[in-house]
Amino acid sequence: MTDEQSTPRPEDDAARLGLVVVGEAAALHSGDEAALDASEQNIRDTVDELVDEPLTQRQEEVLERLAAAGGTLTAGLSGALAAQTGRSVDDVLEGAARSVVWQQRLANERDGADAGPARDREDAGGQQRDHRDEQGRDQA
């Protein structure tokens, strides 16, 4: 988020949540208890950072379980897709994460076209996007 933008865009929040779900799926596939614990903490931290007002204990638990359920579904589907295509689960999950980021980038570009000249924007992870020239092409 830039200084000009005091409220995150819904697309950015959605992308962040999508990446959290993919992270949960990766942790589930790894079978590593430490990775699962870290992923669950990431879910809690993300929920805490995305809400404007404190949630009730029940609301927070529901959101955390919803994100974990999304991770479980993503893990199952990525495993099935990996088996069907002969690719690794890691490759499938990496593709899912790229899709989340790509959708956010498209939303940023659409908003940039609506706002006039392109300018620097941040993605869900807080990384600056590449600069664009006058024709809207990425510059190195």
pLDDT digits (tens, 9 = 90+) for 60-118: 899 899 999 999 999 999 999 999 999 999 999 999 999 999 998 998 888 877 765 54
Does residue 135 lie within any of the structural domains? no
Please report, for residues 27, 91, 134, the alpha-carbon distance to residue 95 in angstroms, rounded to integers and kept in the order given. 16, 6, 30
Q: What is the rounded CA–CA span in Å between residue 27 and residue 74?
A: 11
Does residue 136 lie within any of the structural domains? no
Does residue 109 lie within any of the structural domains? yes
Residue that wins the pLDDT comparison between 25 and 121: 25
Does residue 5 lie within any of the structural domains? no
Domain total in the chain:
1
Q: What is the span of the domain harbouring residue 45?
A: 10-115
Does residue 1 lie within any of the structural domains? no
**pLDDT at 52 (0 to 100):** 83
Does residue 120 lie within any of the structural domains? no
Does residue 138 lie within any of the structural domains? no
Q: What is the rounded CA–CA span in Å between residue 95 and residue 78?
A: 10
Short-list 94, 96, 95, 88, CA closest to 70: 96
**pLDDT at 3 (0 to 100):** 47
Does residue 4 lie within any of the structural domains? no
